[in-house]
Structure 1
Amino acid sequence: MKKALIIISLGAVLLLAACSENTKSEKNTDTKQTEKAEVEAKVEDKDTVVDGLKIKIKKQEVNKKVSNSKTQQLYTFTISGENMSSTNKGLGAVDFVLKTKDGKEIQIDPSMAAFGNEIEPNKQLEGKASFAVDEKQTATKLVYKPLDKELAEWEVSK
């Protein structure tokens, strides 16, 4: 039942995306303007409905984290979830992993604050998820992966 709901939801999202109006009617020869338009398009594509939850990545920050003479990059995402279903749904920072360019999966940083709770129908939950990545690694995707099943992913800005 859940698999069918997920497939139907993803199909609906893809159908709506395919049928949407193309807003880029003019070509820009200025590369800076083109890059800006592509970045804005990525930001707009960050809403995803999965298993009755509308998940949105609202903000991404990259900071340095120094601990015990070890320097890492700290990727922090502000995540919002809205329950679109008629039953309570759970959402938390532990449901997300960060994938690196070399294919490694990074779990949330346990030393940083994290969110998680059950969401009632038509209610929202918002919080932050932080991931500590070695400086030699490059983060590429944030993945919604509850119960070891990859259900959605978002590109990570560099």
Structure 2
Amino acid sequence: MKKIIYLIGSLMMLVSLLVACGTNESTKNDSSIKEKKQTSVAEGIRFTISQPKKEKKQELGKEKILYTFQVKGENVSSNSKGLGSIDFVLETTDRKEVDIDPTMATFGDELKPTKSLSGPVTFSLNKTEKPKKLIYKLGDKKTAEWDVKE
């Protein structure tokens, strides 16, 4: 079963270069990002996530707010894992899920056991929207989430 999941995940990575493959294990972390960085484990990956940096951006004459998290993932399992910016969504206070801003820098690759990968995860919100949770999501499955404090 794990070989099939790995094969499907590998094919998805070839198509998008940023899609992560998953396993049947699931860990939900309701950790707050209160400190400068927060560490937790989900799906065999140890995540270290920074507080978001907040910047203004002009987009088509409208002012947007960019929230950029620095994410580091270390594979703590015995199987290769995929990790990328595309695996994250930002939930707002009105429960809307926002995908990453495709115009900003992203990262993604396969993680061999004991290897790590890091990079930015950036979301663009309207001035009236407020971030609530950063969510690590594989397909439709929320595998980890962290409360965001501005």
TM-score scaled to structure 2, two decimals? 0.77
Partner of 1:122: 114
Deviation at 1:48, TM superposition (A): 1.6
Q: Which amino acid aligns with 2:114?
A: N
Task: Report the counterpart of residue 65 of structure 2 in structure 1.
Answer: 73
Q: Does 1:105 align with 2:97?
A: yes
Identity of matched residues, %: 40
**What is the alpha-carbon root mean square deviation over aligned residues?**
2.4
**1:92 positional shift:** 0.4
Give the aligned residue type for 1:6.
S
Gapped regions of structure 2 (runs ≥ 5)? 3-22
SS at match of 2:145: strand
Deviations 1:131-158 (A, max 9, x none): 0000011111100011111111111121
Native 8 Å contact 2:35 2:51 kept in 1: no
Give the letter for the 2:105 counterpart.
Answer: A
2:26 alignment counterpart = 6
Question: Quick check: which one's helix share is greater?
Answer: 1
Offset from partner CA, 1:64-117 (integer Å, 9 cap, x none): 011221101100000000000111100001000000000100000011010111
Question: What is the CA–CA distance in structure 1 between the aligned matches of 2:139 and 2:70, rounded to whole Å?
Answer: 21
Gaps of 5+ in 1: 15-38
Post-superposition offset of 1:119: 0.6
1:148 matched to 2:140? The reply is yes
> Residues 109 and 84 from structure 1, CA distance in 2 versus in 1: closer, same or farther, beyond 3 angstroms?
same
Whether the 8 Å contact between 2:83 and 2:111 is mirrored in structure 1 is yes
The one-letter code sitting in structure 2 at the alignment partner of 1:92 is G
Q: Which residue of 2 aligns with 1:91?
A: 83
For residues 45 and 79 of structure 1, what CA distance do their matches in structure 2 show? 9
What is the number of residues matched between the two proteins?
129
Instruction: Flag the structure with higher strand content.
Output: 2
Return the structure number with greater relative CO, CA threshold 8 A, min gap 6.
2
Which segments of structure 1 move beyond 3 Å, counting only runs of 4 or more? none
> What amino acid is the match of 2:73?
G
User: Is the contact between residue 65 and residue 125 of structure 2 (CA under 8 Å) also seen in structure 1?
Assistant: yes
Task: Return the match for 1:43 from 35, 39, 42.
Answer: 35
Aligned equivalents of 1:136 and 1:147: distance in 2? 28
